[in-house]
């Protein structure tokens, strides 16, 4: 019998030792943030601490429903420290699911306990932070769901300094309707509606609670390795990862986490990805997609789901039409046109401008934007030539003759002299139209200033045309960050990913940085749209972002293409023509 008892004791001791070793190994993985690996080990054990840390592993992996399942088991523990830690962690999971009433109830249960633990202070802080964090709409929704009269009172009373007077009185009225006891109703009314000189904060953004994790979905196509564009979405995402790392280092009390979904280059897949991110992963914002067509489909859903979507490359003027939750980093054609009009009138001092555009092209939006802005600034539009050039065999001479410098022809034919011509040619036909326009103007020796879109950067100019014309073009992308920041980013990117940081890596970093800074400002993602519109200018690695109260980046760069344009943009001491030619050739090579 003694031998049997001794053997049983040895087996129990060995089991306990093995359990202890397994738990210790799992904790090492957990502390190293290897949550998936730690989770599998915790799930093999069946004690209260293992249940608690299985839930905390799920919480770290943003699997909130499974986390709550394990926390519900852990709160049955005989140890109060484990129960309180499980309750606090469950409150965090409920908060991240935006079930604020349940989160507050879990925390209030800890605060109401007679048992004192170290978690109690954290619970009290989080309880207060959630009450201060809620938007006006969330306050009403939470109020009607709460079962505890004490929490309802705390919610309404705390709202006094965070909402406007009308909203506060509406909250009080709702609270009074929910109280069946007439005596208590009278007491609540007297207490809550007393006149005080409390400072109001309702016009400010709330602070995010400690431990806040923002979920940001990234919707980009996964391209085949043999696809020549494979690096575009890959490096965009890598740039965003570095921006997320910067945010997380800068904010030890809150984090941003990226969730990637494949848009598969078609609108339906992109829409499905956004839907999953919103409802399954509780995304607070979306970055993507890559192209304008999927972006238009996603913009519809972003509006329906009320989730801000930041498109890094799409520049269609249709995307923002009636969609208040879609934000574009790449300026639209209309914005290009407006900026070029401002440049022509305000920087070049011109007041008589002409426009030539191909009917039905993307450039037509730029042409319309140019005309409206130029006229708003007091300039006169001498000609607005909007034609289907293909129907006339691309013979532009019948349209360009009005730009002749011959004063006799001008007088006899009543032509209106134009100081500049805006020619926003786009698409595959742009090089053809550019060459034909230049040839016509050269034949007439016209020195009208030429303005255009980025396609003009690749214009095939002869040496004579470079000397004759003064040409400017607008471009969406260009570095404005200081050199040290750019160098640090490029070194960091190469160290992390083993490849060079191209323009798309920099755009991804700028997109992430701009969005994450807006999240810092907003605190509560409900206010993210307003924070994006009001965000300070970002001098980025590849973009200068200025929303200026709008949902489209309003900044474009204007470059000079020819020596005369470069000299006007960057006046230099007298120099030989050959020097300017060399600089122009260098600029053209760089643009190509």
Long-range contacts of 429-435 (CB under 8 A, 24+ apart): 429/358, 429/361, 429/389, 429/390, 429/394, 430/455, 431/455, 431/458, 431/459, 431/460, 432/394, 433/358, 433/389, 433/394, 433/396, 434/459, 434/460, 435/459, 435/460
Q: What is the CATH number of the domain that holds 365?
A: 3.40.50.2300
pLDDT digits (tens, 9 = 90+) for 207-232: 999 999 999 999 999 988 999 999 99
How many angstroms separate the Cα of 513 from the Cα of each of 25, 115, 257, 447? Answer: 36, 44, 13, 44
Mean pLDDT of the chain: 91
Strand partners, 354: 383, 421
Domain termination residue (choose one: 115, 131, 147)? 131
Domain termination residue (choose one: 73, 108, 131)? 131
Q: Are residues 572 and 461 in the same domain?
A: yes
Q: Are residues 441 and 570 in the same domain?
A: yes
Cβ count near 308 (within 10 Å): 26
Instruction: Write the burial class of residue 534 (CB in 10 Å: 0-12 exposed, 13-18 middle, 19+ buried).
Output: middle
Tokens 């890094």 correspond to what residue?
Answer: 312
Distance separating alpha carbons of residues 471 and 450, to the nearest angstrom: 5
> Sign of the C-alpha dihedral, residues 91, 97, 98, 102?
negative
Domain that holds residue 191: 134-204
Per-residue burial over 226-265, b = 16 or more CB atoms within 10 Å of its CB, e = otherwise: eeeeebbbbbbbbbbbbbbebbeeebeebebbbbbbbbbb
Q: Are residues 442 and 567 in the same domain?
A: yes
pLDDT digits (tens, 9 = 90+) for 258-272: 999 999 878 999 999
Q: Are residues 447 and 493 in the same domain?
A: no
pLDDT digits (tens, 9 = 90+) for 291-314: 888 999 999 999 999 999 999 999
DSSP E strands in 87-135: the ranges are none
State the virtual CA torsion across 95, 100, 106, 112 in degrees, nearest 10: 130
User: Residue 203's pLDDT is what?
Assistant: 65
At 381, is the secondary structure helix, strand, or coil? strand
Q: Are residues 351 and 457 in the same domain?
A: yes
pLDDT of 273 higher than 90? yes
Distance separating alpha carbons of residues 77 and 383, to the nearest angstrom: 82
Q: Are residues 219 and 339 in the same domain?
A: no
Whether 545 is covered by a domain: the verdict is: no
User: Residue 161's pLDDT is what?
Assistant: 87
Q: What is the CATH number of the domain that holds 41?
A: 1.25.40.10
pLDDT digits (tens, 9 = 90+) for 115-130: 888 899 999 999 999 9
Strand partners, 311: 328
User: Residue 1's pLDDT is what?
Assistant: 52
The answer to whether the CB of 48 falls within 8 A of the CB of 82 is yes
Whether 583 is covered by a domain: the verdict is: yes
> Two tokens at 510?
């700028």
Instruction: Write the burial class of residue 205 (CB in 10 Å: 0-12 exposed, 13-18 middle, 19+ buried).
Output: middle
State the virtual CA torsion across 55, 61, 63, 64 in degrees, nearest 10: 60
pLDDT digits (tens, 9 = 90+) for 389-447: 999 999 999 999 999 999 999 999 999 999 999 999 999 999 999 999 999 999 999 99
Domain count, the chain: 4
Strand-pair category, 212-220 with 285-287: parallel
Whether 232 is covered by a domain: the verdict is: yes
> Two tokens at 465?
């045309």
Distance separating alpha carbons of residues 455 and 450, to the nearest angstrom: 13
Whether 15 is covered by a domain: the verdict is: no
Q: Are residues 443 and 576 in the same domain?
A: yes
User: Residue 544's pLDDT is what?
Assistant: 96
> Sign of the C-alpha dihedral, residues 477, 478, 481, 484?
positive
pLDDT of 584 higher than 90? no
Full-model pTM? 0.89
The answer to whether the CB of 312 falls within 8 A of the CB of 243 is no
Per-residue burial over 369-383, b = 16 or more CB atoms within 10 Å of its CB, e = otherwise: bbbebbeeeebebbb
**DSSP symbol at 427:** S
User: Residue 14's pLDDT is what?
Assistant: 46
Q: Are residues 284 and 393 in the same domain?
A: no
Report which of 259, 236, 370 is spatially closest to residue 313, judged by C-alpha positions: 236
pLDDT of 320 higher than 90? no
Distance separating alpha carbons of residues 554 and 330, to the nearest angstrom: 9
Distance separating alpha carbons of residues 517 and 243, to the nearest angstrom: 10
């Amino acid at each position: 019998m003694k031998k049997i008892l001794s053997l049983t004791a040895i087996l129990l001791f060995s089991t306990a030792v093995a359990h202890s070793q397994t738990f210790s190994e799992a904790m090492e993985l957990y502390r190293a943030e290897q949550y998936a690996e730690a989770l599998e080990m915790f799930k093999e054990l069946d004690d209260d601490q293992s249940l608690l840390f299985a839930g905390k592993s799920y919480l770290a992996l943003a699997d909130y429903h499974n986390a709550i399942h394990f926390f519900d088991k852990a709160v049955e523990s005989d140890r109060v420290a484990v129960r309180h830690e499980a309750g606090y962690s469950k409150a965090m999971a409920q908060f991240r699911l935006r079930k604020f009433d349940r989160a507050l109830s879990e925390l209030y249960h800890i605060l109401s306990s007679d048992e004192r633990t170290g978690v109690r202070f954290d619970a009290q802080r989080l309880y207060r932070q959630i009450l201060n964090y809620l938007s006006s709409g969330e306050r009403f929704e939470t109020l009607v769901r709460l079962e505890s009269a004490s929490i309802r009172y705390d919610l309404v009373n705390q709202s006094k300094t965070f909402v406007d007077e009308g909203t506060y009185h509406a909250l009080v009225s709702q609270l009074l309707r929910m109280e069946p006891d007439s005596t208590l109703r009278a007491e609540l009314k007297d207490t809550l509606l007393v006149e005080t000189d409390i400072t109001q904060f309702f016009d400010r953004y709330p602070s995010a609670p400690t431990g806040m994790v923002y979920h940001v979905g990234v919707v980009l196509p996964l391209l085949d390795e043999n696809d020549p564009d494979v690096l575009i979405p890959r490096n965009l995402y890598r740039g965003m990862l570095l921006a997320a790392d910067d945010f997380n280092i800068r904010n030890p009390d809150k984090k941003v986490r990226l969730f990637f979904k494949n848009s598969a280059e078609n609108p339906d897949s992109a829409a499905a990805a956004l839907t999953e991110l919103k409802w399954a992963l509780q995304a607070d914002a979306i970055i993507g997609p890559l192209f304008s067509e999927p972006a238009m489909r996603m913009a519809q859903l972003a509006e329906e789901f009320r989730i801000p979507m930041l498109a890094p490359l799409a520049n269609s003027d249709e995307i923002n039409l009636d969609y208040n939750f879609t934000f574009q980093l790449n300026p639209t054609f209309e914005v290009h046109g407006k900026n070029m009009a401002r440049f022509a009138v305000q920087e070049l001092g011109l007041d008589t401008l002409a426009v030539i555009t191909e009917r039905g092209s993307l450039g037509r939006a730029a042409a319309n934007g140019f005309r409206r802005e130029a006229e708003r600034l007091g300039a006169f539009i001498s000609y607005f030539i909007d034609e289907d050039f293909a129907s006339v065999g691309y013979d532009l001479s019948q349209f360009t003759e009005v730009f002749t410098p011959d004063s006799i022809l001008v007088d006899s034919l009543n032509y209106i002299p134009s100081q500049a011509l805006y020619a926003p040619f786009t698409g595959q036909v742009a090089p053809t139209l550019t060459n034909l326009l230049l040839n016509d103007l050269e034949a007439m020796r016209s020195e009208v200033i030429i303005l255009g879109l980025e396609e003009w950067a690749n214009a095939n100019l002869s040496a004579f045309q470079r000397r004759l014309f003064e040409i400017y073009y607008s471009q969406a992308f260009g570095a404005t960050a200081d050199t040290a920041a750019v160098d640090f980013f490029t070194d960091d990117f190469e160290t992390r990913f083993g490849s060079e940081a191209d323009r798309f890596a920099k755009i991804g970093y700028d997109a992430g940085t701009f969005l994450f800074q807006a999240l810092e400002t907003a605190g509560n993602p409900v206010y993210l749209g307003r924070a994006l519109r009001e965000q300070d200018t970002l001098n980025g690695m590849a973009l200068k972002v200025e929303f200026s109260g709008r949902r489209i980046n309003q900044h474009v760069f204007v470059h000079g293409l020819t020596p005369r344009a470069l000299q006007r943009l960057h006046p230099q001491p007298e120099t030989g023509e050959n020097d300017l030619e060399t600089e122009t050739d260098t600029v053209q090579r760089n643009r190509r």
